[in-house]
């Protein structure tokens, strides 16, 4: 079968150079999704590139991605190796793990509390932290971006370690920021991807930036993985530990006599994925929403009217209101469709040779699903580049279009395990911001309106560059509601 398959053509792609293949035209990560989206129009929903002998298959429709990554997930659930991340100590982070028994064990451990019904348990934390975020907006609107980052991080840290982030200087919040910088820096293309031999280069050698990076990042990465778990261990001894993912596991492991350096290591790696996977993605989905509201005041007003009608002005919306707010639901979906924060999702790898519609996909090929193409597919979405929440309303009121979940949260056995948590985190933030704030145009020093111009940048995730806006409480009552909610959530905190 291998010989027969090998005679089939690879999926088509742009013209290549001899030997180096498509290396010269391989787009930079920051524009990759857009460039691939353009190419797909010419070469089709399944195209391929050859980068120095490494085959890259790019999937540009929901069907192709679902056919391969969902329906044939037994063959497409592996990941490529990430040599730099592996060397700093993230080898066993779930997101980077190769497919196999160890992956399955780690994935199960993380997934268990994050199932659809399980994430209900985290709602009080989300309600609490959303009030903190609103309060921070009120007192320091210019710090909006950071407040949202803190919101997503604080929820993740409390779920993972029972740690409550109480200030911007919080040690755990700082660790999340460091984690992000390390992810960003270590993600740059490097010689190490070509061969481990380059590891031996001296740090001063041109292009060998990673030697210094690895040396410096490794102890920090290790500390940030182990420290919060040893904090919880100490709190358990002192009787002060709060219920959390880690405390629960530590108690179980101790009771069952299974607490060993190995089980402790696994637990530390998995716990880190809660903020590693959840913080930046949720943060940037919410800032994308804020940018969308700034650019689409009519949509903002319509969503606010729905909230005013259903919830009124006397309280903040909460999860019990969700089913009664269909338009807000559409705004959340449209934010995720219009600009998914992971435009190229995460690469999968083919474990064995395969054939798809007469094309040959060799073992070891990297499979990239292009979320941009999938959520901007003209065959599925009318006017896909416009922000139109009503597209998701059922006909005849709306267009009855359906959000391709894979385009946002990925596929098959690697689908985002945090998707239900993310959905709650993002929804409650959005509905509460809409309820009490107006996102309006900023004014310059002379009082002139600044026309919004939003630019996106893609490093680890794709998100708006910092932008000016006028984030203002909708009324004095709204401001008072925020203060009261904040006071209530801080009542038990001794400062």
Residue 354, beta-bridge partner list? 361
Per CB under 6 A, contacts with ligand HEM among 425-454 are: 426
288 binds ligand HEM (CB under 6 A): no
From the CB of 81, what's the least distance to ligand HEM, in Å?
13
Residue 282 near ligand HEM by CB under 6 A = yes
Choose which of 175, 225, 342, 485 interacts with ligand HEM (CB under 6 A). Answer: 342
Among 143, 168, 135, CA closest to 154: 168
User: Judged by CB under 6 A, does residue 407 bind ligand HEM?
Assistant: no
Q: What's the Cα-to-Cα distance from 99 to each of 236, 374, 416, rounded to whole Å?
A: 34, 25, 15
State yes or no: residue 424 binds ligand HEM (CB under 6 A).
no
Residue 416, annotated as binding a ligand: yes
Query: Which range touches ligand HEM (CB under 6 A), out of 83-91, 121-129, 300-308, 412-420?
Result: 412-420
**235-261 burial code (b ≥16 CB/10 A, e <16):** beeeeebeebbbbebbeebeeeeebee
Which residue carries 């006397």 as its tokens? 314
354-356/54-59 β-pairing: unpaired
Question: Least distance from C-beta 85 to ligand HEM, angstroms?
Answer: 13
Residue environment code for 328-363, b if the CB has 16+ CB neighbours within 10 A, otherwise e: bbbbbbbbbbbbbbbbbbbbbbbbbbbebeebbbbe
Which is nearer to ligand HEM, 85 or 486 (by Cβ)? 85
Q: Which residue number, 37 or 414, has a Cβ lying nearer to ligand HEM? A: 414
Give how far Cα 58 sits from Cα of 95, 346, 351, 372, 411, Å: 20, 12, 16, 12, 14
366 vs 421, beta carbon nearer ligand HEM: 421
Nearer to ligand HEM, 427 or 486 (CB): 427
* Residue whose structure tokens are 């416009």: 386
Assess contact for 430 and 328: CB atoms under 8 A: yes
Please say whether the beta carbons of 110 and 273 come within 8 A: yes
Residue 416 makes contact with ligand HEM by CB under 6 A: yes
Task: Indicate whether 341 belongs to the interface with ligand HEM (CB under 6 A).
Answer: yes
When the beta carbons of 277 and 473 are compared against ligand HEM, the nearer one is 277
Give the residue with the Cβ less far from ligand HEM, 182 or 416: 416
CA 48, 93, 430, 294 torsion-angle sign: negative
Find the binder of ligand HEM among 359, 365, 367, 408 (CB under 6 A): 408
> Binding site membership: which residues?
416
Where do contacts with ligand HEM occur on this chain (CB under 6 A)? Answer: 94-95, 107, 110, 114, 273-274, 277-278, 281-282, 285, 341-342, 345-346, 408-411, 414-418, 421-422, 426
């Amino acid at each position: 079968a291998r010989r027969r398959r090998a005679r089939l053509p690879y999926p088509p792609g742009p013209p290549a150079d001899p030997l180096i293949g498509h290396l010269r035209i391989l787009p930079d990560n920051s524009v990759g999704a857009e460039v691939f989206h353009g190419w797909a129009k010419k070469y089709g929903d399944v195209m391929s590139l050859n980068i120095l002998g490494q085959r890259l298959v790019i999937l540009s429709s929901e069907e192709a991605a679902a056919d391969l990554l969902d329906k044939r997930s037994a063959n497409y659930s592996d990941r490529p190796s990430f040599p730099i991340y592996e060397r700093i100590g993230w080898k066993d982070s779930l997101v980077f793990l190769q497919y196999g028994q160890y992956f399955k064990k780690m994935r199960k451990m993380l997934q268990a509390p994050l199932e659809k019904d399980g994430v209900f348990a985290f709602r009080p934390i989300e309600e609490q932290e959303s009030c903190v975020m609103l309060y921070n907006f009120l007192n320091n609107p210019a710090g909006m971006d950071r407040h949202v980052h803190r919101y997503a991080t604080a929820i993740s840290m409390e779920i993972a370690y029972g740690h409550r982030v109480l200030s911007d200087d919080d040690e755990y919040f700082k660790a999340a920021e460091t984690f992000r910088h390390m992810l960003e820096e270590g993600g740059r293309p490097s010689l190490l991807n070509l061969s481990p031999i380059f590891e031996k280069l001296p740090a001063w050698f041109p292009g060998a930036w990673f030697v210094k990076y690895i040396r410096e990042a490794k102890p920090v990465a290790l500390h940030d993985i182990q420290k919060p778990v040893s904090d919880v261990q100490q709190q358990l001894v002192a009787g002060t530990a709060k219920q959390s993912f880690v405390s629960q596991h530590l108690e179980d492991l101790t009771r069952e006599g299974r607490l060993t350096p190995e089980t402790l290591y696994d637990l530390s790696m998995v716990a880190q994925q809660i903020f590693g996977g959840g913080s930046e993605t949720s943060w940037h989905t919410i800032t994308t929403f804020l940018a969308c509201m700034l650019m689409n005041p009519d949509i903002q007003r319509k969503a606010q009217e729905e909230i005013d009608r259903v919830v009124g002005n006397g309280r903040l919306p909460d999860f019990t209101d969700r089913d009664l707010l269909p338009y807000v639901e559409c705004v959340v979906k449209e934010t995720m469709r219009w600009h998914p924060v992971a435009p190229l999702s995460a690469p999968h790898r083919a474990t064995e040779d395969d054939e798809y519609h007469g094309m040959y996909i060799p073992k070891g090929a990297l499979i990239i699903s292009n979320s941009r193409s999938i959520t901007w597919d003209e065959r599925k979405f009318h006017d896909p580049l416009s922000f139109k929440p009503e597209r998701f309303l059922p006909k005849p009121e709306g267009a009855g279009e359906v959000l391709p979940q894979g385009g946002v949260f990925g596929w098959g056995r690697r689908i985002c395990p945090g998707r239900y948590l993310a959905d709650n985190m993002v929804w409650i933030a959005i509905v509460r911001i809409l309820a009490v704030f107006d996102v309006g145009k900023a004014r310059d020093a002379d009082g002139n309106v600044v026309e919004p111009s939003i630019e996106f940048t893609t490093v680890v995730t794709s998100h708006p560059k910092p932008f000016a806006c006028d984030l203002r409480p909708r009324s004095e009552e709204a401001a008072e509601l925020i203060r009261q909610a904040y006071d209530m959530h801080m009542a038990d905190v001794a400062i």
